[in-house]
């Protein structure tokens, strides 16, 4: 009996998760390994911070979805893949054998500039942790006038800063100051039109924007920039972009420059065809991909098809990334900014559109949590 192992039930594995029963029908065993029993949808993460969404609205009960279809769920984390032996070492000490492995272990926010002993310094991933950050901000602003810092210059930093503003405005506490430390240049990989619009939004939301230099060091109550200027925030959120975990490099597999599993156009490891992957944790060999959920979501049907094809010995499908994709930023004021190529639009309708797309996505996969009839 072939054993299929899925590492992580992230955005790229959702369609495979919805079709686990098909592997069972082909006589396979399926095991999913994930450190948490639930998976949180990052697109709604900033709204979780501002209490726009409740936790249950933005998470999938991964264990239930797997077990409903006769799969095995292991609450654990992979720490090494021994690709010659076809085994995975888990944090618990257990070793798992596999015939076919698919990796969707996501990415983490590099915390290198933050002191490991720093208090009230939080990365924006894992998304589930934003619940305790939210509670902490509320308890701080209940007692005093606070200064919140967001370090990072991309869309996640913008959304987190804007939703932190919503959170403190709606809390019954003291008014707070929010500063976004955006590095050399805010939203540097985006067109000037989007940068201008986003700066204006931050101004309206009374979020101070500091550009021109990167943060060099973050510690308890301190942010130090490269030019030596020092700031004293009460709480700091790190949204410094994301990197794949060291799992693949530690396992001696070929990786891209940032440590993502190097895969070909069929999303298969360039070294070992029985190892596949999707989402933020891969380096797609044909061309670099931005670390956005849009790519992970579109890899879903390809991963499912290719996993089934590997079991049956059928032809594989190639993943063709979109050249242009759309992002909508939740700016916490019931409005959004829509960006697609040269198009930049702002309004209530933009947030409503994002909200509708996100809720529909959640409903589709949360429906799998119900026990089958």
Ligand X SMILES: Cc1cc2nc3c(=O)[nH]c(=O)nc-3n(C[C@H](O)[C@H](O)[C@H](O)COP(=O)(O)OP(=O)(O)OC[C@H]3O[C@@H](n4cnc5c(N)ncnc54)[C@H](O)[C@@H]3O)c2cc1C
| Site residues for ligand X per CB under 6 A | 7-12, 33-36, 39, 42-43, 45-46, 77-78, 104-106, 124-125, 156, 159-160, 245, 247, 279-281, 291-294, 296, 327
CA distance 39 to 65: 11
In 81-98, which positions are buried (b, 16+ CB within 10 angstroms) versus exposed (e)?
bebeebebebeeeeebeb
Cβ closest to ligand X, residue 175 vs residue 288 = 288
Least Cβ distance, residue 10 to ligand X (angstroms): 2
Least Cβ distance, residue 356 to ligand X (angstroms): 13
CA 333 to each of CA 43, 203, 205, 210, 329: distance values in angstroms, whole numbers, following the listed order? 16, 13, 8, 21, 11
Query: Which among 200, 247, 238 is positioned nearest to 218, based on CA atoms?
Result: 238
| Interstrand relation of 59-60 and 39-40 (parallel, antiparallel or unpaired) | antiparallel
Cβ closest to ligand X, residue 173 vs residue 245 = 245
Least Cβ distance, residue 13 to ligand X (angstroms): 7
Least Cβ distance, residue 326 to ligand X (angstroms): 9
CA distance 195 to 156: 14
Least Cβ distance, residue 201 to ligand X (angstroms): 16
Q: Is the torsion defined by CA of 22, 28, 34, 37 positive or negative?
A: positive
Per DSSP, the residues of 87-100 read EEEETTS-EEE-SE
Query: What are the tokens at 172?
Result: 């019954």
CA distance 245 to 280: 10
Least Cβ distance, residue 255 to ligand X (angstroms): 15
CA distance 297 to 293: 6
Question: Which secondary structure element, helix H or strand E, spans residue 336, and what is its range?
Answer: strand 336-340
Cβ closest to ligand X, residue 124 vs residue 149 = 124
Q: Is the torsion defined by CA of 181, 10, 297, 80 positive or negative?
A: positive
Cβ closest to ligand X, residue 6 vs residue 118 = 6
Cβ closest to ligand X, residue 79 vs residue 224 = 79
- Residue identified by tokens 């994709």 is 325
**122: helix, coil or strand?**
strand
Least Cβ distance, residue 68 to ligand X (angstroms): 18
Cβ closest to ligand X, residue 7 vs residue 215 = 7
Strand partners, 329: 337
Cβ closest to ligand X, residue 10 vs residue 153 = 10
Cβ closest to ligand X, residue 28 vs residue 96 = 96
Cβ closest to ligand X, residue 7 vs residue 350 = 7
Least Cβ distance, residue 96 to ligand X (angstroms): 11
Secondary structure letter of residue 42 according to DSSP: G
- C-alpha Rg value of the chain to the nearest Å: 21
Least Cβ distance, residue 296 to ligand X (angstroms): 4
């Amino acid at each position: 009996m072939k054993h299929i192992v899925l590492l992580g039930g992230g955005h790229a594995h959702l369609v495979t998760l919805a079709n686990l029963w098909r592997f069972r029908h082909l006589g396979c065993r399926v095991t999913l390994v994930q450190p948490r029993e639930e998976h949180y949808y990052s697109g709604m993460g900033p709204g979780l911070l501002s209490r726009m969404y409740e936790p249950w609205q933005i998470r999938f009960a991964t264990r239930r979805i797997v077990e409903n279809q006769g799969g095995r769920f292991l609450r654990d984390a992979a720490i090494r893949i021994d690709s010659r032996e076809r085994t995975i070492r888990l944090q618990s000490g257990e070793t798992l054998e596999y015939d076919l492995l698919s990796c969707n272990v996501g990415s983490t926010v590099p915390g290198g500039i933050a002191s490991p002993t720093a208090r009230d310094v939080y990365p924006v991933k894992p998304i589930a942790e934003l619940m305790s950050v939210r509670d902490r901000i509320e308890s701080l602003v209940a007692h005093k006038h606070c200064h919140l810092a967001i370090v990072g210059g991309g869309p996640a930093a913008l959304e987190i800063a804007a939703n932190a503003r919503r959170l403190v405005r709606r809390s019954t506490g003291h008014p707070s100051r929010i500063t976004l430390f955006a590095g050399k240049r805010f939203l540097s990989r985006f067109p000037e039109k989007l940068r201008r619009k986003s700066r204006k939004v931050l101004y309206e939301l009374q979020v101070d924007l500091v550009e021109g230099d990167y943060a060099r060091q973050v510690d308890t109550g301190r942010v130090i920039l490269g030019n030596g200027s020092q700031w004293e925030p009460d709480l700091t959120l790190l949204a410094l972009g994301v990197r794949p975990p060291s799992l693949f490099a530690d396992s001696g597999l070929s990786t891209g420059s940032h440590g993502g599993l190097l895969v070909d156009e069929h999303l298969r490891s360039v070294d070992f065809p029985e190892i596949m992957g999707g989402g933020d944790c891969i380096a797609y060999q044909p061309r670099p991909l931005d670390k956005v959920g849009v790519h992970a979501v579109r890899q879903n049907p390809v991963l499912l098809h290719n996993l089934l094809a590997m079991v049956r010995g059928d032809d594989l499908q190639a993943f063709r990334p979109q050249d242009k994709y759309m992002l909508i930023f939740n700016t916490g004021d019931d409005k959004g900014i829509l960006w697609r190529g040269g198009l930049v639009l702002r309004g209530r309708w933009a947030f409503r559109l994002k909200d509708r797309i996100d809720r529909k996505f959640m409903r589709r996969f949360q429906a799998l949590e119900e026990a089958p009839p």
